[in-house]
Amino acid sequence: MLLGDARTGKLADNITGFGRALRRAGVRTDSARIALAGQAAMLVGVASKPDLSAALEAVMVSREQDRLVFRELFDVYFRNPEVANKLLAQMLPSAEGKAEPGKRRPRVREALSPQKALGQSQPKQEDQKVDFDAAMTASELQRLKHADFNALGAAEYRLVERLARDIALPIPTVTARRTQPGAHGARMHWPGVMRHAARSGGELMRLPRLQRREHPLPLLVLVDVSGSMERYSRLLLAFLHAATRGKMGQKGRCDVFAFGTHLTDLTPAFRLADSDAMLAAASVAIEDFAGGTRLGESLATLREQHARRLVGRRTLVLLITDGLDTGEPEALARELAWLRRRSQRVLWLNPLLRFDGYAPLAQGSAVLHRQAHGMLAVHNLSKLQELAASLAAILRR
């Protein structure tokens, strides 16, 4: 089978350009995978477009969250060879495909944008104009602050993920039984009184007291890693890791679990100091990413194997999910009732609150709405900044 002459481009150049477009869309594809894609195309041929798509997807995609991006970009890029060649030469502002331009994923639109197309020639010196770079102006930051995480392009998503790590989340505190020396308190700190008296020749110049210590509330974070929560899960994990780093040491505790079709303990990964290393370790640990959601069975595993993670009915539970559960509502209600009894507050962080007029009509959402102490929105940066105040308000209630 003759697939084209390497001197004139044809399929080999198209596959190379397609691999570069995948990288621009945030898909982890290197030169070795692009070479394997060329070998796969030689084996399956080009007679059947679905077979070619499946072969390239098998060697070029390594993460479940990139599959839909690959399929949509493949459909647009390989609509026909002429469109692909025009795209590589930037003779068209965008490629034509089955997906409407307004309905394409942000990562696909960004990969096919004219500014990043292959073969872009540099303008002549006399034709260059002085333009101000407004990529990080106040208006752009304001737009990203209120942009839904699921509507961001690949570059915007990476930027927002970095910005989310700088958002502070003061952990609510609880009064402990143990005491420490302080300026206020009901009891005298007699050893301190005697030490101060010895320094002043026996005169009682200062009367230290004992006050109760303040400890951060123990945190239990349950993160949904199903397909509908793909982009929210990673960003919220990075946000919570940076917000609790250095604050949950000897005086506090933070346990993190991911759930999809089963429960995965991410607490060892969360102990890593670097957020990028934590995300990499979490990706390796999670085996059911982009699968279904069975929260009831996951909570049953938590009750049977990790019940000691809930500290003395003082634990603050953050349940991050859209509520689209596929399990039995009765089992979910039973396990949520147990979790509610064993913790101080169960807070539902729901990305679907980005929709105006949202109502928990699904069976799993209705059960969560009845059992949770509060439901908070976490779909953009502004909502993450308001999260600390919302937590404090619900705890005072």
- What are the helix (H) ranges across 112-169? 138-145, 154-164
Cα 47 to Cα 314: distance, rounded to the nearest angstrom = 63
Give the whole-angstrom CA distance, residue 67 versus residue 26. Answer: 12
| pLDDT greater than 90 at residue 63 | no
Contacts of residue 35, Cβ cutoff 8 Å, sequence gap at least 6: none
Q: Is the pLDDT of residue 65 over 80?
A: no
pLDDT per residue as tens digits for the range 273-305? 888 889 999 989 988 877 778 999 999 999 999
Inter-CA distances, 105 with 111, 152, 176, 283, Å: 10, 9, 50, 23
Owner of token pair 């005298």: 188
Please tell me the predicted confidence (pLDDT) of residue 5. 44
Instruction: Tell me how far apart the alpha carbons of residues 88 and 96 are, in angstroms, rounded to a whole number.
Output: 13
- Per-residue model confidence (pLDDT) at position 105: 60
Residue 130's pLDDT is 38
Residue 259 corresponds to which amino acid?
F
Number of H helices, E strands in the chain: 17, 9
pLDDT tens digits, one per residue of 219-269: 999 999 988 888 899 899 999 998 887 655 545 688 999 999 899 999 999
> Using alpha carbons only, how large is the chain's radius of gyration in Å?
27
pLDDT (0 to 100) of residue 45: 85
Global pTM? 0.64
Lowest mean pLDDT segment, chosen from 8-12, 64-68, 202-206, 269-273: 8-12
Q: Residue 254 burial (CB < 10 Å; 0-12/13-18/19+)?
A: buried
How far is residue 16's CA from residue 343's CA, in Å, rounded to a whole number? 54
Tokens coding 298 = 């996951």
pLDDT of residue 62: 83
User: What's the chain's average pLDDT?
Assistant: 79
pLDDT over 90 percentage in the chain? 24
How far does Cα 323 stand from its chain's mean position? Answer: 17
pLDDT greater at residue 123 or residue 114: 114
Asked if residues 362 and 323 have their Cβ atoms less than 8 Å apart, the reply is: yes
Parallel, antiparallel, or unpaired: how do β-strands 254-259 and 263-265 relate? antiparallel
Query: Which domains can be identified in the chain, with CATH numbers?
Result: 6-116 (no CATH), 177-214 (no CATH), 216-396 (3.40.50.410)
Helical packing angle, 67-77 and 10-24, nearest 10°: 140
Distance of CA 316 to the CA centre of its chain: 20
Q: Of 154, 141, 219, nearest to 380 (Cα)?
A: 141
